Amino acid sequence: MTHGRKPRRPRDVRPPFRTAMLRASRLTEEERGSIMNPVRACLKALREGVATELQHDVLHTTMQISLAIERAGVVRGLGNHFNEAVDALDAIATRCRRGSTWLATALHFYELDAMATAVDLHDYQLQQLSFGELRAVINRVLATTRSSGGKVITATAEQLTALGVSSPGSMKETANARA
């Protein structure tokens, strides 16, 4: 009998150790590699002057995630490096989008230096994060991008393979925070 109340809904029971391992454990070397290898491949293409717009968007999204990790307070004190990298990416995008199509361009030294430093620091951030913290930050960046009118790109398996992602499930969406 419910005596006029809604019947109680039973909770989903999950194994507590599995939940703790997923949320509280740090990323393994393999997991960090699955995140950083495509980012490093995109940086290499950008450095060589042959980057596509998708590769630029992956780097831009990585910097947005890095700034969100900074704001979350897990790893502090690196924000200026990431802001310099975002400024460099914005300058690169401005030069590449002069016409109606994307034309790759050469980098200035300060842009290359800012990007290389930021990618290395992002790897350091990932060493300090748990899986749950990273998932929360990524969801926050995606939600912020969608709510601000930016576009969220869902990459196809072919695009992910071209970026150097070994398993397409490791990197599904890239958020482009530019409106």
Q: Are 134 and 123 in contact (CB under 8 A)?
A: no
Q: How confident is the prediction for the chain on average, in pLDDT?
A: 84
Query: Does 20 map to a domain?
Result: no
- What is the tens place of the pLDDT at every residue in 141-158? 999 999 998 888 877 777
More confident residue, 79 or 24: 79
Query: Does 107 map to a domain?
Result: yes
* Count of the separate structural domains present in the chain: 1
Q: Rounded CA gap, 76 and 82, in Å?
A: 12
> Exposure of 45 by Cβ count < 10 A (0-12 exposed, 13-18 middle, 19+ buried)?
buried
Which residues constitute the domain of residue 145?
29-176
Q: Rounded CA gap, 21 and 131, in Å?
A: 9
Which band of pLDDT confidence, cut at 50, 70 and 90, is reported for residue 165?
A: low
Query: Does 47 map to a domain?
Result: yes
